[in-house]
Structure 1
Amino acid sequence: MPHSSRLDELRHPEVEAYLDGTETPTALIPVGTTEQHGEHLAMGTDAFIPTEICERIAEDVDALVGPPINYGASDMHAGYDGISYLNYRTLATVVRDIAYSLAESGFTDVVFISGHLTNDWAAKVGANQASHDLPEEHYVYAFPYWDALSGEDMEDYLSFDAGWHANIGETAAVMAIDEGLIDLESTSFDEPDLPEDIENPAALLDHLLIGKGAYYRVSETGTWGDPSEATAELGEEYFDTITHAVAELINTFQEVRDEIYQRKRPDRAQEQW
C-alpha cells in the first residue's frame, strides 16, 4: 500500500502504481451528512465515523479511500438550525456519477459506506444504476456500516436500548477520533414516546422519523439515547468490532462473488450481461 490510503492525499504516480499492482482495485467512499447530533456532538458525525472506518480497513481490503460525501439525505432533520441536506434523487445521482468515473479511471470495485440511515437508500439506487451501465467486471454496491454487525453488537451500539441518534455509540466513536469534537457537559437526551402495545416498535421508525422535518417533530434535544457514559476507550472498542466486521464483509464478497455469479448464470446469458 502507498504511504496513505486516502486517494486525495496521494500523488498521481502513487495512484497509478496502486491500480497497476492490485488484483482488485477498490475505492471506499464514505457517505455522511451535515446535520445536528444533539448539543454535545459534532455536525459531521455521520461522515467522520464511516471515514474513520474506511481508513482503518483500507489496508485489510487493499483499497483506497475517496473523499467523503459530506452532504446526505437527511431532510428528517429539517427544523434544526444550520443543517444542510440533499434530496434522495440528487444523492443517488452523485453516487452513480462517482462510481462511473472511478470505474472509468481504473477501479473495478466501488463501495459506498454510509453513516446515515437514509443515505443508504439513495446510495443503493445510485449504485444499482451504475451497475446496470458498467461492464460486468465492475462491482458497485452500498451499505451502512452497521449492516455488518451482529445483532448482539448492534444492540450495544444502535438500538432501542442504546438509542438511535447521537447516542452512546456514535458519541464514543467520535471521541475515539477526536475528543475535541465532543462536549459531554452539554449532553441532554430524550426518547420518542413509542407505544408499548405494538409487537415490533421498529416498524414505526420509518413512518415517524423519515420525511422532511420528521425527526425534528419527535425529538426536542436531537439526541435519542443517553450518551453521558461515552468514552474514547469505549469508542475504540466499537471501532475494533465494526472495522473487523466491515472488512470481513467486503473481503468475503470479493472472494465468493465470481464463483457464485458464474455458477448461477447460464452460459447463454453471457451476451446479455
Structure 2
Amino acid sequence: MKPPTVFMGEMTNREVEAFLVDHQTVIVPTGSTEQHGPHGPLLTDVFVPQEVARRVAPRVGALVAPSINYGLSYPHVGFTGVVNLRIPTFMAVVEDVAASLATAGFTRIVFLNGHYDNTYAIAYACANAADRLPAGVRAFPINYWDGMTADEAGEFFGPTTGLHANRGETSAVMAINPDLVDLDHANAELPPFPAVTNAPAVHTAFFFSTPGSVHRASQSGTWGDAREASVAYGERYLSVVADATVRMLDDVERTFGAMPAR
C-alpha cells in the first residue's frame, strides 16, 4: 500500500481530489537558488521552508505543493551559482501558480517564503492574481520567520548574529540533511556597515535597489558566524519556526475573519 504523504508532487491526482473533500489549504514553499557562504547549499532558502511546510501541513490540514526554487536573487549576482529571475517573471510565476491551485479547488494558498528579497513581490503578485481567483479564495505570503517572538528572532537573527548563511540557517540545513553542509569551510563574516540613523531604511535602499549589493557587502557570502552550526541547534531552529508558522496562519485567518464583509 502506498504510504501517505503531505507532498502534492508525490501524490496522484485522485489523492489530491480526495484530500480536497475535507481540506482546501495548500502551502507553496518559495525560495531562491543562490550562494550561502562557502559552506551552505545553493537551495538553502528552499530546503528550509520546504521542511517547515512538511512539519506544519499535518497541523493545519494542508498539502505542500512543489517548491518555487528560483526567486529574486539580484542582490547576490556576482557569486557563482546564482539564478536570478526578473521581478515581472517571478511575479508571473507566483500569479500563475496561485491561479492554478485555485482552479484545482484550494481556497487557502500560502506562499511560505524562505528568501527575504521575494517578500514584497509575492504579496504584489497575490494582489495581481486576485481577479483570477474564485470568490472566497485567498492567496498570500508569509515568511517562515514572521511569527517568531522578539526573543526567538533575536536568538537566530540580528546585527551580530547575522542574517544569511549564519549559524541558525546553516544548522537548519544540517538538521534536514547534514551531508549538505561543508562545515570544514564554515566561516564568520559581517558586512562593514557604517553607523547610520535608520539601519532598516538604509538597508532597503542599499540591498533592495542595487543588484549585486550582497556581493559587494560580503567577500564570502556569509553574514554571521556559521562555525558553531550543529544538527541540535538546527532542530531547535526548525521547531521554533514551525510553531511560529502555525501561529501566523492562525493569526492571518482570524484577521480575515474579523473584518466585516463589504
Coarse TM-score class (shorter-chain normalised): over 0.9
Write the distance in 1 (CA, Å) between the matches of 2:124 and 2:177.
33
Q: CA deviation at 1:207?
A: 2.4
Q: How does 1:1-273 map to 2 (within 5 A)?
A: 3-22=4-23, 25-196=24-195, 198-210=196-208, 211-258=210-257, 260-261=258-259, 263=260, 265-266=261-262
Tell me if structure 1 keeps the 8 A contact 2:102–2:134. no
Deviations 1:85-108 (A, max 9, x none): 101111111111100011011001
Write the distance in 2 (CA, Å) between the matches of 1:122 and 1:148.
20
Percent identical: 36
The letter for the 2-side match of 1:136 is A
Q: Secondary structure at the match of 1:120?
A: helix
The letter for the 2-side match of 1:154 is A
Tell me if structure 2 keeps the 8 A contact 1:32–1:114. yes
Tell me the C-alpha RMSD between the 2 structures. Answer: 1.4
| Number of equivalences | 259
The letter for the 2-side match of 1:203 is A
Q: CA deviation at 1:156?
A: 1.3
Write the distance in 1 (CA, Å) between the matches of 2:104 and 2:161.
42
Tell me if structure 1 keeps the 8 A contact 2:146–2:248. no
Tell me if structure 1 keeps the 8 A contact 2:31–2:69. yes
Tell me if structure 2 keeps the 8 A contact 1:41–1:182. yes
Q: Secondary structure at the match of 1:86?
A: coil
Write the distance in 2 (CA, Å) between the matches of 1:74 and 1:256.
31
The letter for the 2-side match of 1:229 is E
Deviations 1:131-154 (A, max 9, x none): 243233101101211111112111
Structure 1 residue runs without a partner (length 5+): 267-273
Tell me if structure 2 keeps the 8 A contact 1:31–1:70. yes
Q: CA deviation at 1:248?
A: 1.7
Tell me if structure 1 keeps the 8 A contact 2:94–2:122. yes
The letter for the 2-side match of 1:13 is R
Write the distance in 1 (CA, Å) between the matches of 2:49 and 2:27.
10
The letter for the 1-side match of 2:81 is G
**Which of the two has higher C-alpha Rg?**
1
Q: Which residue in 2 is equivalent to 1:271?
A: none
The letter for the 2-side match of 1:227 is A
The letter for the 2-side match of 1:128 is A
Tell me if structure 2 keeps the 8 A contact 1:71–1:85. yes
Tell me if structure 1 keeps the 8 A contact 2:172–2:238. yes
Write the distance in 2 (CA, Å) between the matches of 1:21 and 1:114.
25
Write the distance in 2 (CA, Å) between the matches of 1:21 and 1:248.
21
Q: CA deviation at 1:161?
A: 2.2
Q: CA deviation at 1:129?
A: 1.2
Tell me if structure 2 keeps the 8 A contact 1:111–1:142. yes
Write the distance in 2 (CA, Å) between the matches of 1:95 and 1:47.
15
Tell me if structure 2 keeps the 8 A contact 1:79–1:213. yes
The letter for the 1-side match of 2:189 is D
Write the distance in 1 (CA, Å) between the matches of 2:127 and 2:31.
19
Q: Which segment drifts farther, 187-196 or 137-146?
A: 187-196
Alignment TM-score, normalising by the size of structure 2? 0.94
The letter for the 2-side match of 1:157 is F
The letter for the 2-side match of 1:209 is F
Write the distance in 1 (CA, Å) between the matches of 2:5 and 2:230.
28
Tell me if structure 2 keeps the 8 A contact 1:189–1:222. no
Q: Which residue in 2 is equivalent to 1:269?
A: none
Q: CA deviation at 1:57?
A: 0.4
Structure 2 residue runs without a partner (length 5+): none
